[in-house]
């Protein structure tokens, strides 16, 4: 019984030793090195010792593993017979047969030893070390240094043997653990910290933009050339002043023979000289332009701007042409978000609807849209912006009302082109796709359109065809006029329709009120005008009309409810754009 009691005492002590090495292992791995280094610089002796141990982290881990292995093996060797000896009398009292007592006692001892070792030797010290990493590292630092000094030769022996085995299988051993984090890992840490409530949204967004800043290039941030106001070198100083007053910007690229031939920049700095004549050519007062390639990283652009003392750079594409411009404000917005000033239009800012939809500028980059809406839209090499995504999926120029469905991990979303400008999408609405509606796929056969900016969208992605004319020669109020060839001088087109070759309205047709058709060809009788037909030679004016040289079309109803075509001074007909 005495030997059994000593065995149990040995088990308790060895289990405590195992717990010590486990706590040592996890405490120094989980401890924040920066926090300990700051405390060490303030003169904290325990923190200084902890920093010294962390500096030899790989060696310390080898020592901890050696201690855990040795104590666990000894516990297993002692615990089972010691606990079995304590349990055997209880089994005899219970009436267990003599032959089965030994086996049951050993099995019970094994289970009890495992429970004690797992709970007190492994799990409890591990969880304690993770919860109190810095404080426990300080408390264990002194004894750990002593242990590493005493067991150092044995630890080094096992380390060298393990390194030889690694090299034998073609793996180069690493002396220390990697303690840094990649940009992707930092982004994940920031996102998880925000999700768990440890970081506010504003600070989280700032940190995420700072992490992704290093991957941005000039052509991803620049203002593209279609949105840049430029001046020819032959323009006058007064023109530059007027452009500054009109746009509110301070610097403009100045070009020579063509826009791609950038000869310099000019702006407020140049017009501030009161001695200059307003008629002075801008080319004489320009300063040298800072030219940067579109592939240059932003931090490189910042260095060049700082060295040149410029806040404005012209971005050049791979062919030497002007791709766009870049300012310090554009770069700063990549870190702090949108910066609004007196030149920014409020309608350009993204807006969210009560149904969770977003109306955003089509020129926003995909990553900016993701940051704004939380939608992980697909990225591609062929486009950088939301408008580029829509055009890539449509495989044609977009039209107002174009709508397509994009499948995302969180569910499909609809992208609808609201307005078009300069043949590309200007505003795009993003909303969750309706579950009951079938997915909308791009209609690649739909004709491209040249809709002016601000044109309202239609319900479908394809423009509706023009309505067919009615059988009655009198044009319907909602008919659409087509722009045809230029009629003879003094002639006027019939309201709402154009007579075909040799055609004439029916005898009972009524001319538009107060219309006075000009002298010209006579339409053939008893024919119905065809939509969009071309006027033929020799038509006769309708009955009741009074031809007269230089007459003007009557003030009848306009086709489609809009303004009637008007004769220009040169005799051409001007027609409004209709859908």
**Tens-digit pLDDT profile for residues 425-460:** 999 999 988 766 565 666 655 555 654 444 444 433
pLDDT confidence bin for 419, thresholds 50/70/90: very high
The pLDDT of residue 445: 57
Mean pLDDT of the region 320-346: 82
Based on the number of CB atoms within 10 Å of its own CB, is 473 exposed (0-12), middle (13-18) or buried (19 or more)? buried
* Side-chain half-sphere exposure of 358, counting CA atoms within 13 A: 20
Mean pLDDT of the region 24-31: 93
CB 553 within 8 A of CB 565: yes
- Measured between alpha carbons, how far is residue 351 from residues 356, 364, 369, 419, 427 in Å? 10, 13, 12, 15, 11
Which of 192-196, 329-333, 374-378, 502-506 has the lowest average pLDDT?
502-506
Beta strands 312-316 and 291-293 are: parallel
Structure confidence by residue, pLDDT tens digits, 49-64: 999 999 888 899 999 9
More confident site: 169 or 106? 169
pLDDT confidence bin for 205, thresholds 50/70/90: confident
The pLDDT of residue 437: 59
Whether pLDDT at 553 is above 80: no
Percent of the chain with pLDDT over 90: 39
Number of H helices, E strands in the chain: 17, 14
Beta strands 262-267 and 251-255 are: antiparallel
Secondary structure of 94-144 in HEC code, one letter for each residue: CCCCHHHHHHHHHHHHHHHHHHHHHHHHHHHHHHHHHHCHHHHHHHHHHHH
CB 286 within 8 A of CB 263: yes
More confident site: 447 or 225? 225
Whether pLDDT at 534 is above 80: no
pTM, 2 dp: 0.52
**Strand ranges inside 393-470, DSSP E:** 403-406, 413-421, 424-432
- The span from the CA of 213 to the CA of 207, in Å, is 10
Whether pLDDT at 327 is above 90: yes
- The span from the CA of 78 to the CA of 109, in Å, is 10
CB 20 within 8 A of CB 125: yes
Beta strands 231-232 and 251-255 are: parallel
Sign, CA torsion 174/180/186/190: positive
- The span from the CA of 524 to the CA of 537, in Å, is 10
Helix (H, G, I), strand (E, B) or coil at 444: coil
Choose among 447, 451, 480: nearest CA to 462. 447
The pLDDT of residue 446: 57
Mean pLDDT of the region 393-402: 92
In the sheet with 223-224, reading across from the earlier edge strand, the strands are 223-224, 322-327, 312-316, 291-293
- The span from the CA of 568 to the CA of 54, in Å, is 87
Mean pLDDT of the region 143-147: 94
The pLDDT of residue 526: 43
The pLDDT of residue 368: 85
Structure confidence by residue, pLDDT tens digits, 133-142: 999 999 999 9
The pLDDT of residue 176: 64
| DSSP 8-state symbol, 457 | P
- The span from the CA of 251 to the CA of 121, in Å, is 71
pLDDT confidence bin for 343, thresholds 50/70/90: low
More confident site: 467 or 133? 133
pLDDT confidence bin for 201, thresholds 50/70/90: confident
The pLDDT of residue 346: 55
More confident site: 482 or 140? 140
pLDDT confidence bin for 367, thresholds 50/70/90: confident
Phi/psi at 314 (5° precision) = -100, 125
- The span from the CA of 402 to the CA of 460, in Å, is 6
Which of 228-232, 395-399, 429-433, 447-451 has the lowest average pLDDT?
447-451
- The span from the CA of 547 to the CA of 496, in Å, is 20
Buried b / exposed e along 196-209 (16+ C-beta atoms within 10 A): eeebeeeebbbbbb
- The span from the CA of 152 to the CA of 140, in Å, is 17
The pLDDT of residue 57: 87
- Measured between alpha carbons, how far is residue 502 from residues 520, 523, 529, 535 in Å? 13, 6, 10, 8
The pLDDT of residue 209: 87
Mean pLDDT of the region 117-144: 92
């Amino acid at each position: 019984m005495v030997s059994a009691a000593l065995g149990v005492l040995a088990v308790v002590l060895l289990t405590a030793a195992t717990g010590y090495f486990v706590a040592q292992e996890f405490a120094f791995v989980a401890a924040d090195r920066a926090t300990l280094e700051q405390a060490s610089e303030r003169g904290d002796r325990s923190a200084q010792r902890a920093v010294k141990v962390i500096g030899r982290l790989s060696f310390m881990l080898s020592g901890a593993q050696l201690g855990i292995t040795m104590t666990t093996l000894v516990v297993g060797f002692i615990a089972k017979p010691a606990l079995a000896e304590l349990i055997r009398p209880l089994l005899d009292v219970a009436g267990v047969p003599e032959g089965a007592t030994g086996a049951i006692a050993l099995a019970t001892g094994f289970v009890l030893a495992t429970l004690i070792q797992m709970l007190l030797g492994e799990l409890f010290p591990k969880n304690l070390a993770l919860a109190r990493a810095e404080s426990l590292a300080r408390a264990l630092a002194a004894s750990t240094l002593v242990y590493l000094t005493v067991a150092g030769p044995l630890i080094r022996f096992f380390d060298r043997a393990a390194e030889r085995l690694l090299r034998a299988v073609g793996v180069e051993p690493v002396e220390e653990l990697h303690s840094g984090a990649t940009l992707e890992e930092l982004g994940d840490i920031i996102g998880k910290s925000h999700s768990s409530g440890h970081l506010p949204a504003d600070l989280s967004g700032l940190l995420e933009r700072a992490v992704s800043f290093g991957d941005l290039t000039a052509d991803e941030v620049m203002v593209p050339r279609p949105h840049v106001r430029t001046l020819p070198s032959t323009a006058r100083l007064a023109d530059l002043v007027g452009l500054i007053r009109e746009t509110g910007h301070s610097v403009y690229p100045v070009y020579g023979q063509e826009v791609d031939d950038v000869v310099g920049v000019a702006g407020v700095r140049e017009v501030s000289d009161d001695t200059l004549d307003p008629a002075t050519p801008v080319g004489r007062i320009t300063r040298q332009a800072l030219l940067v390639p579109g592939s240059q990283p932003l931090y490189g652009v910042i260095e060049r701007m700082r060295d040149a003392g410029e806040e404005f750079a012209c971005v050049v594409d791979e062919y030497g042409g002007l791709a766009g411009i870049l300012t310090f404000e554009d770069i700063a917005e990549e870190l702090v978000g949108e910066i609004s000033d007196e030149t920014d239009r409020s309608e350009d800012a993204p807006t969210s609807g009560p149904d969770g939809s977003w109306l955003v500028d089509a020129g926003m980059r995909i990553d900016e849209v993701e940051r704004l809406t939380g939608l992980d839209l697909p990225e591609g090499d062929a486009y950088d912006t939301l408008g580029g995504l829509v055009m890539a999926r449509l495989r044609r120029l977009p039209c107002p009302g174009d709508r397509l469905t994009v499948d995302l991990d969180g569910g499909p979303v609809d992208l609808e082109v609201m307005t078009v400008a300069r043949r590309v999408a200007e505003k795009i609405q993003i909303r969750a796709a309706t579950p009951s509606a079938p997915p909308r796929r791009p209609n690649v056969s739909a004709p491209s359109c040249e809709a002016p900016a601000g044109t309202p969208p239609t319900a479908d992605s394809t423009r509706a065809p023009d309505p067919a004319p009615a059988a009655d020669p009198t044009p319907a109020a909602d008919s659409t006029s087509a722009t045809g060839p230029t009629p003879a001088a003094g002639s006027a087109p019939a309201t709402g329709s154009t007579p075909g070759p040799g055609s004439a309205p029916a005898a009972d047709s009524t001319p538009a009120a107060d219309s006075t058709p000009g002298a010209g060809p006579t339409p053939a009788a008893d024919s119905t005008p065809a939509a969009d037909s071309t006027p033929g030679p020799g038509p006769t004016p309708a009955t009741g009309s009074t031809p007269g040289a230089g007459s003007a079309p009557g003030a009848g109803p306009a086709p489609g409810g809009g303004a009637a075509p008007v004769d220009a001074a040169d005799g051409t007909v001007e027609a409004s754009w209709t859908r």
